[in-house]
């Protein structure tokens, strides 16, 4: 089946070539990081996680959002999703691979990564995250590939795929819950030390991930003529809208608890991110941009007259993804470190090397997604 990814028109190969160039840039930057150490990044003693872990967190959400098409199709027999299910599953595969690569890029000693398996430590949330992410990757890759293979041969998918798919539904929730627990269990990091972190992760994931699926379905329609269906997109739009509402509602509850209780430790990170603290506020414009874009996008998605127009729908989906990417990919992870345990405000600026590695990992994920979707579209359109 994979040979179908090796046939394509000029623009397909141009896109692949562009991704390969980005991967090359990423690899050379990673080589520099491996030879000089993580000091070449903007991270430091106080802000000890940066862009890599933030991208990881955002992408776990993208991976988990496959459940938004798998669940209605397989559990509720929503036929409208029949064409887009495979897109969701392959998006999950690519996003999970990117997650793992970002973790590797962030490690000081990536050559020792197997220590996580050699000395299994169930008291550590990282151990569970490694387990659930690898499991989720296998579940989606195997079931997606097997169902597609059966479709190519014109036979019913083997019955064991059903079991894997059912298992993948709670598993999707688990990957983002465990990822939230990585942060939510640390004493002294008050932005993360909140019980609504896991629910908010799920809400933002289902909003951004579903919006990405809608965008991908438009790209596929334009580039390959494969249409996942207007009805599928409409249903996904509603799901994204309500997930977005849930996300901003949960963010609102964070603000209420912090500012009404007036407990300084609970307020400090939010103050720093949204208003500035002690005259410093590196991320204030970003956070407001995220908030305004996100809420505007959700409103567009909620108004039937607007969301039924392709232009508005594209704007709203892109806006929602952008908003949640800033919120999770910039604010939440880096903001969690400020103020530091010694009550200091430290700034963080990613370096060119760090951004190049990030570009490279995204390019690897996009290349994988491109090839997987090429195969899927070829099978679906009987090329």
Partner 1 sequence: MNQQRREFLKKAGLGALAGLGAAAGIIPTFALEKTDPSGFPSKPVPGKVRWGMLIDTGNCREGCSACVAACHFTHNVPDFSGTKNEIKWIWKSPYEKAFPTSSLQFPSHDLEEREVLTLCNHCAEPPCTKACPTEATFKRWDGIVSMDYHRCIGCRFCMAACPYGSRSFNWQDPRPGIAEYSKTYPTRERGVVEKCNFCSERLVKGQEPACVEACPGKAITFGDLNDPSSRIRVMLGENETVQRKPELGTLPSVFYII
**Rule CB under 8 A: which residues touch partner 1?**
36-39, 43-46, 48-49, 103, 106-110, 112-113, 115-116, 118-119, 121, 123-127, 130, 182-183, 185-189, 264-265, 336-337, 340-344, 346
Is the CB of residue 367 less than 8 Å from the CB of residue 21? no
Q: Which two tokens stand for residue 58?
A: 């955002």
CB of 49 to partner 1, least distance (A): 7
Q: Which is nearer to partner 1, 99 or 207 (CB)?
A: 99
Q: Please state, in angstroms and rounded to a whole number, the distance separating the CA atoms of residues 204 and 250.
A: 10
Q: Shortest gap between Cβ of 351 and partner 1 (angstroms)? A: 11
Give the pair of three-digit tokens for residue 45.
């003693």
For the bound state, the minimum distance from the C-beta of residue 112 to partner 1, rounded and expressed in Å, comes to 5
Across the strands, what pairs with 277? 280
Minimal distance, residue 51 CB to partner 1, in Å: 14
Alpha-carbon gap, residue 339 to 271, rounded angstroms = 10
Nearer to partner 1, 103 or 228 (CB): 103
What is the radius of gyration, based on Cα positions, of the chain?
21
- Smallest gap, in angstroms, from Cβ of residue 123 to partner 1? 5
Q: What is the rounded CA–CA span in Å between residue 123 and residue 134?
A: 18
Give the residue with the Cβ less far from partner 1, 231 or 344.
344
The alpha carbon of residue 264 and the mean position of all alpha carbons in its chain are separated, in whole angstroms, by 31
189 vs 280 by CB, closer to partner 1: 189
Q: Which is nearer to partner 1, 15 or 127 (CB)?
A: 127
Query: Is 143 exposed, middle or buried (CB count within 10 Å of its CB: 0-12, 13-18, 19+)?
Result: buried
CA 79 to CA 76: how far, in whole Å?
9
Q: Which is nearer to partner 1, 125 or 197 (CB)?
A: 125
* Shortest distance, position 337 Cβ to partner 1, whole Å: 8
């Amino acid at each position: 089946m994979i040979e179908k990814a090796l046939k394509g028109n000029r623009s397909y190969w141009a896109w692949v070539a562009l991704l390969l160039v980005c991967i090359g840039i990423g690899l050379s930057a990673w080589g520099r990081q491996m030879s000089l150490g993580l000091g070449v990044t903007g991270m430091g003693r106080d802000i000890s996680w940066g862009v890599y872990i933030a991208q990881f967190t955002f992408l776990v959400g993208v991976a988990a959002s496959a459940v938004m098409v798998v669940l209605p199709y397989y559990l509720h027999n929503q036929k409208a999703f029949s064409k887009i299910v495979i897109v969701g599953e392959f998006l999950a595969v690519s996003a999970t691979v990117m997650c793992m690569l970002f973790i590797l890029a962030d490690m000081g000693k990536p050559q020792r990564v197997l220590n996580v398996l050699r000395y299994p430590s169930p008291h550590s949330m990282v151990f569970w995250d490694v387990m659930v992410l690898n499991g989720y990757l296998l579940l989606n890759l195997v079931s997606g590939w097997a169902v597609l293979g059966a479709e190519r041969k014109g036979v019913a998918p083997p019955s064991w795929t059903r079991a894997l798919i059912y298992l993948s539904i709670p598993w999707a929730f688990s990957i983002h819950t465990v990822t939230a627990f990585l942060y939510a269990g640390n004493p002294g990091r008050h932005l993360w030390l909140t019980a609504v972190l896991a629910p908010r992760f799920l809400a933002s994931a289902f909003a951004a991930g579903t919006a990405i699926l809608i965008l991908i379905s438009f790209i596929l329609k334009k580039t390959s003529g494969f249409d996942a269906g207007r009805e599928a997109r409409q249903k996904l739009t509603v799901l994204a809208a309500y997930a977005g509402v849930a996300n901003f509602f949960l963010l609102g509850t964070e603000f209420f608890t912090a500012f009404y209780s007036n407990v300084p430790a609970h307020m400090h990170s939010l103050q720093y991110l949204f208003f500035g603290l002690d005259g410093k506020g590196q991320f204030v414009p970003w956070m407001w941009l995220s908030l305004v874009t996100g809420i505007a996008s959700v409103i567009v998605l909620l108004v039937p007259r607007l969301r039924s127009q392709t232009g508005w729908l594209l704007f709203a989906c892109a806006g929602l993804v952008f908003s949640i990417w800033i919120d999770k990919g910039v604010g939440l992870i880096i903001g969690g470190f400020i103020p530091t345990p010694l009550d200091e405000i430290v700034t963080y600026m990613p370096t060119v090397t760090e951004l190049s590695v990030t570009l490279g990992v995204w390019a690897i994920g996009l290349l994988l997604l491109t090839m997987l979707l090429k195969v899927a579209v070829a099978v679906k359109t009987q090329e």
